[in-house]
Copies of this chain bind each other. A is one copy, B any other.
Amino acid sequence: MASQSSEPTRIMMAVNESSIKGYPHASISSRTAFEWTVAKLVRSNAAGFRLLFLHVQVPDEDAFEDMDSIYASPEDFHNMNEKDRIRGLHLLEYFVKLCHQYEIPCEAWIKKGDPKELICSEVKRVKPDLLVVGSRGLGPFQRVFVGTVSEFCAKHADCPVITIKRKPADAPPDPVDD
């Protein structure tokens, strides 16, 4: 019998939205990382694990395009934040629902700011056993322009990190999309 600790293994997963327009959905790499974690680590031992979903919202650069109103008062900004918040909740709901289907204990929360910095500070605070991050698996040329959250976390997070690359067959027409 393998050594058995009473505490479940706490796996933190950083998840984000798809960048493909008209598709308000979990990104391909977030879903790939989640499916890999369940199939390869959790397996049939759902009670041995606890998944902690963190979604970091980035202030939306295209907000003016997406909105049908002009920012003229503090209330307009309040509405925008409210929209963002709802969008983030829908994203987390997707993963929490799947966990409930699989009977894997989980929790989920949203932070706002720079994803790479916030993921690392949340690791410090929450102290998971493992951090799983998805990656688009971009080549060196593409990486220079978009930066990669996964590389930063693998280097700076205060816990073991697994990076799960998106399958090449799942890549959208523009591989920078996800």
Contact = CB atoms under 8 A, between A and B. Distances in A.
A164 interface: yes
Interface in A127-177: 129-130, 154, 160-165
B1 A46 contact: yes
Nearest to A33: B160
Interface bracket on A: 20 to 34
Contacts of A165: 160
Identical subunits present: 2
Interface in A93-127: 102-104
Contacts of A2: 38, 42-46, 102-104
A40 B162 CA distance: 13
Contact of A43 (B48, B104, B162, B164): B48
7 A-B pairs closest in CB distance: A45-B45, A2-B102, A43-B48, A2-B46, A4-B44, A2-B42, A9-B40
